[in-house]
Structure 1
Amino acid sequence: RSDVVVLCFSLANPNSLRHVKTMWYPEIKHFCPRTPIVLVGCQLDLRYADLDAVNRARRPLAKPIKPSDILPPERGHEVAQELGVPYYETSVVAQFGVKDVFDNAIRAALVSRRHLQFWKSHLRKMQRPLLQAPFLPPKPPPPLIQVPDAPPGLGGGPAALFQAPLCADVVFQLQGGHRVFAHRIYLATACSRFYDLFTLEGPPESLGQGDGTTRDLSSWGRGFLSLRWELVTDPVAGRERRMAVVAMDRGVRPEPLRAVLEYLYTGKLERPHGDLRQVGAVAELLEVFDLRMMVANELNQESFMNQEITKAFHVRRANRVKECLAKGVFADVVFRVDDGAVPAHKPLLIAGCDWMRAMFRGGFRESYADEVSLPGTNCACLRAVLDFLYTGVFTPTPDLDAMELLILTDRLCLPRLQALTEQYAVDELLRAFMQRVEIDEQVIIYLEMTQFHNARQLAAWCLHYICTNYNRVCRRF
């Protein structure tokens, strides 16, 4: 004879609860009519678990659990009330309810013995099975900040900028009247020879000063004849701009030169194999030695070695671009912000940001102005944006305000930088939280601002924080 029967079913299997009513309860009542029964719903943790992760762990042996299979607490209570038995829910994983089941099963067994003469006096004060305290679900994991891939954008990057040289500031004059337009910042950061060339003589202070003055380069290096500054019509905008005119030696042909310059923009060798020897000759003449090595590898059918050359090219360029940004070398525009001025480079901005491309390409006043007013932001935020547009890497600084940067990224339509800034803001909040710094007020401020400036991922994180710490936040505010 049993003292008590614990009748279990799975909260993730509706059929098991159905069998409780149709199969197990009638059988127990048939063989043990006076034995108390305790109904127990098992696997309570699955009600709040990530079912996708659970199903991946159960494959391929078990049937996947669907969200519709999870039974709510009301279903178990309804069956228990219909059968007239106490009901409890348990989870071995969460260590919840197991002790309640055994304690109350003992109570049910002892109460059922009151009819015996020996136990009447001893069990007079024994309570019936108690109600179970509600289960406190575990805190859901915070939402992850998803950083999107870099979009190609309308600008198309450096390659498209070379094909349509908007805001060009250097033109190479070849024999036969051929002209090739380019940008000093791209050439100087990719090749030391061009960096030395463009730092020999800077642009004149005014349009009249220095125009027509020619510097002889025949003794300075092979391939170059002279350098002078003059007004040249922009091939894209059709407006006159001050450009460095570099006269080239007659041995430099247009197509090989364009191949060399395109490599200095992109770091890739994308030319037909038929003119590779001419490209290699011009690269050696202009001292672009890494391109000369790539051409040699292509001719020797060892192109797999070019991957390391390309990696080194981009690392070297990123370092030189950062140096030019810090020193303002080759800058052709100055942004006026609330707390100062920041020099910048139009070609790099056009290649990395559609907003900048539209501003400098259209008929706006900013397209030909040397200074552009950008109110509502500060130098630290703008430098962070420029550093990202130049190198593709977000590098936060100690004086950077995440909320101010989010406002600027929303203004400039930079979703990738916005996501990186949201991740930076979350990391800063978590770091302060781990140091026992009160962040409730900061989270509420962030929530209001992020909803206004389209930072939806950070807004979702702030809502999660407020919901999981609701009582503490309400006590303070």
Structure 2
Amino acid sequence: MDTDMDYERPNVETIKCVVVGDNAVGKTRLICARACNTTLTQYQLLATHVPTVWAIDQYRVCQEVLERSRDVVDEVSVSLRLWDTFGDHHKDRRFAYGRSDVVVLCFSIANPNSLNHVKTMWAQEIKHFCPRTPVILVGCQLDLRYADLEAVNRARRPLARPIKRGDILPPERGREVAKELGIPYYETSVFDQFGIKDVFDNAIRAALISRRHLQFWKSHLKRVQRPLLQAPFLPPKSPPPVIKIPESNESNINDAGDLLDNPLCADVMFVLQDQNQIFAHKIYLATSSSKFYDLFLMEHEESQNPVERFCKKEKPTKDLLLRTLSLDTDEDTDGASLKPSNACLRISRSDDTLLTSDCEDESWVALSSWSKGFHSMHQEIMLNPISNRTCSVTVVQMDSSIQYGPFKTVLQFLYTGQLDENEKGLMRVAQIAEILEVFDLRMMVENITNKEAFMNQEITKAFHVRKANRIKECLSKSTFSDVTFKLDDGSINAHKPLLICSCEWMAAMFGGSFVESANNEVILPNVGKSSMQAVLDYLYTKQLSCTLDMDPLELIALANRICLPRLVALTEQHAVQELTKAAVSGVDIDQEVLIYLEIAQFHNAHQLAAWCLHHICTNYNSVCSKFRKEIKSKSTENQEYFERQRWPPVWYLKEEDHYQRVKKEREKEDNVLNKHRSRRKWCFWSTSSAAFA
């Protein structure tokens, strides 16, 4: 539809609105939001500034733009024509100003210079080219007043000037300039779609009122109001911060495979043919293989106090050996074949004195009848080649059929659950796996042989699931434990090898030159049993096990103390979930959040602290009314954060007070004006009636 047709339509007022202002203050975005209904994200708005002049030709070529130009304001049909202009001060804009009905003068609330130019440059230019044209002042980019400026600056163009918090103008600054110039003031945000209709509807009102003075015979313009007040914009509550859990990368340099090659805290030594030795750890072998579990459990149950038993010259009976050697075997064992008189334990004390039973020779516990591949077993006090400390080690003599290389590969699988496809002697590995009943490993060798190695991934997953369950069981029953943590309210047994592989702090304590590395008891002051149990559960399973008596703050303090940032994050997530559930169920959590805040900050629980800050800020009025003293007792940094991020913000409260005050004043003015009009109307009818009489 042609532009001239609107002029010919009866009772349709065509309004030419010229939008001026500095470069990059948001003029074009504001025009497009009104004329094209474009909505962009905040970062898109800031990252791409296109200095486009949006000219009148759009109304001729774009039907959608033309249709959106039509509106009804105060029962008056209008067609709004928007003119964009260059923001460069030296440009000639006289053609744009020609025959304009209203001028919208824009500045950015994040650019104080653009507001200064309103008085020093733009007001003078407008007065020069169109002195009788009404003007309204518009503060653009309102959303930057409460936005995350760090994220905004990252999204801006590389060479763009960064926005600083001190650059953000309060509403009263724009209102003061508007009052000085005698024009209305409005604020807009294209990102929030706030104020766009207010600006252009009131620009239309200003233009129609000016036209009514010149074209007083147009009766349909009598109902046009003067530009209305704009209610202040209440920014939305910021969403609560999301607790992010870091990847599980807290394993130290001694992972399970490395621990086999560098056997810190080893408690098992396998002796193979040619006197080759391999140090290992009961907890890793027992939780990976049922055969080793039965072997070490047999030793654990029957030799809990071997020194005391042999000091009393107690001989292992025939029934005891019969029960020991027949555990978890498929073959019936004849007691007569065991020869208990020749099979007894040999235990070495720390003073290198041998304590033996009254048997014919100092033989080991025979294992050949219990299972293939094993020869005998005994305990010794020996020097660990890695830590250079003496410790009690279970020595297992393997059968001559067990070779060093393949057996080392089997142990490597029991530690890691993985098998290298390029491993040499896979068939020999499969034979040893068959003897030791490591059926997972045997299946993996078969898959590699059959060119189906891809199936081994599922076997490895199932292996780790079973291993995790057995490790958790050993933790709960204290089976094969080699260290006891003495706590404020009790003690907990644990396993040094698992702790070394799960925590650098534990690895340094048990693998270094600290006294704890040689002791079986470790005293941890100011630590509760429930928190330590949660830490051990995490180190063993990489999961947080929550109990009713667990104090999140105490657990966070302990996890931070032993350098477990992922456990800290998991505990933060649990604490936030519990607080959120309580709040949803109607429980007042304000006091608890205040307690959590600075304790979380002290123990590096930054995500929990951020959540607490968000809760306090978004409920600032209610929290402050109940706990004013607690708020004032917080650190200076926290109090500054409260004032800066509180919701509703201080600038909104001031604007709301100003709006309500001006609104009452305008209502009084309107009442006085209505009374004056009514009186004039009554006088007019009285005079007319008298003249008629």
TM-score of the aligned structures, taking structure 2 as reference length? 0.60
How many Å apart are 1:329 and its aligned residue? 0.9
* Cα distance change on mapping 1:111 and 1:277 into 2, 3 Å: same
Displacement after TM superposition at 1:409 (Å): 0.6
Query: Hey, what's the Cα distance between the residues in 1 that align with 2:140 and 2:307?
Result: 84
Q: What does 1:273-352 correspond to in 2, within 5 Å?
A: 273-352=423-502
Paired with 1:276 and 1:267, the residues of 2 have a C-alpha distance of: 15
2: distance between equivalents of 1:154 and 1:452?
Answer: 25
d(CA) in 2 for partners of 1:158, 1:257: 17
| 1:444 and 2:594 aligned | yes
Counting only pairs closer than 5 Å after superposition, residues 259-278 of structure 1 correspond to structure 2 as 259-270=409-420, 272-278=422-428
Q: Deviations over 1:333-385 (max 9, x none)?
A: 11111121111111100111111111112233322222211121212211111
Shift in CA distance, 17/454, structure 1 to aligned 2, threshold 3 Å? farther
- Report matched runs for 1:209-248 at 5 Å: 209=309, 212=346, 214-248=364-398
Match for residue 565 of structure 2? 415
- Answer yes or no: is the 8 Å Cα contact 2:16–2:99 preserved in 1: no
Contact 1:5–1:38 (8 Å) recurs in 2:
no
Mapping of 1:88-237 within 5 angstroms?
88-91=186-189, 94=192, 96-98=194-196, 100-101=198-199, 104-105=202-203, 108=206, 111-112=209-210, 115=213, 128-151=226-249, 153-202=251-300, 203-205=303-305, 207=307, 209=309, 212=346, 214-237=364-387
Shift of 1:300: 2.1
Per the TM alignment, residue 97 of structure 1 is displaced from its structure 2 partner at its CA by 2.7
How far residue 317 of structure 1 moved from its aligned partner, in angstroms, is 0.4
**2:184 counterpart (57, 62, 86):** 86
Distance 1:179-1:387 versus aligned 2 partners, 3 A rule: same
Which shows bigger deviation, 76-85 or 104-113?
Answer: 76-85
Question: CA separation in 2, counterparts of 1:328 and 1:7?
Answer: 82
Deviates more, 1:222-231 or 1:253-262: 222-231
Secondary structure class of the residue paired with 1:473: helix
Query: What amino acid does structure 1 have at the position aligned with 2:299?
Result: E
Runs (5+) with no aligned partner, structure 2: 1-6, 8-12, 20-26, 31-44, 52-83, 102-129, 311-344, 347-355, 357-363, 628-693
What is the Cα deviation at residue 217 of structure 1?
A: 1.6
Distance 1:354 1:402, change over 3 A: same
Match 2:96 to one of 22, 27, 36: 27
What amino acid is the match of 2:232?
A: P
Measured in 1, the distance between the counterparts of 2:88 and 2:592 equals 52
Query: 2:466 corresponds to which letter in structure 1?
Result: R
- Are residues 6 and 429 of structure 1, via their aligned partners in 2, closer, same or farther at CA, if it must alter by over 3 Å? farther
**Mapped contact 2:140–2:188 kept (Cα < 8 A):** yes
Deviation per CA, 1:446-466: give whole Å up to 9, x if none. Answer: 111122112222222222222
How many aligned residue pairs are there? 472
Give secondary structure in 2 for the equivalent of 1:273: coil
The C-alpha deviation readout for 1:246-300, integer Å capped at 9, x for no partner, is 1111100111111101110011113743221111111111111100111111222
Q: Deviations 1:14-43 (Å, cap 9, x if unpaired)? A: 956754986778734535465534455667
Counterpart of 2:529? Answer: 379
User: 1-side partners of 2:558 and 2:250: how far apart?
Assistant: 20
Task: Tell me which residue corresponds to 1:455.
Answer: 605
Q: Scaled by the length of structure 1, what TM-score is found?
A: 0.85
Aligned letter for 1:96?
A: F
**1:223–1:285 contact (8 Å) kept in structure 2:** yes
SS in 1 for 2:491: strand
What is the alpha-carbon distance in structure 1 between the residues aligned to residue 552 and residue 508 of structure 2? 26
**How far apart in 1 are the matches of 2:252 and 2:457?**
27
Cα distance change on mapping 1:117 and 1:273 into 2, 3 Å: closer
| Paired residue secondary structure (1:190) | coil
Query: Is the CA contact (8 Å cut-off) linking 1:406 and 1:418 kept in structure 2?
Result: yes
**d(CA) in 2 for partners of 1:29 and 1:376?**
81
Identity %, equivalent residues? 54
What one-letter code is carried by the residue in structure 2 that aligns with 1:159? Answer: G
Q: CA deviation at 1:98?
A: 4.9
Q: Unmatched 5+ residue regions in structure 1?
A: none
Distance 2:183 2:168 in 1: 18
* Structure with greater Cα Rg: 2
Deviations along 1:280-325, one digit per CA (max 9) or x if unpaired, are 1111111111001111112222211100000000000011111111
Query: Residues 153 and 199 (structure 1 numbering): CA distance in 2 closer, same or farther, change over 3 Å?
Result: closer
CA positional deviation for 1:237: 1.6
CA distance, structure 1, for counterparts of residue 203 and residue 224 of structure 2: 13
**8 Å Cα contact 2:267/2:282 also seen in 1:** yes
Q: Distance in 2 between matches of 1:265 and 1:360?
A: 19
The one-letter code matched in structure 1 to 2:276 is H
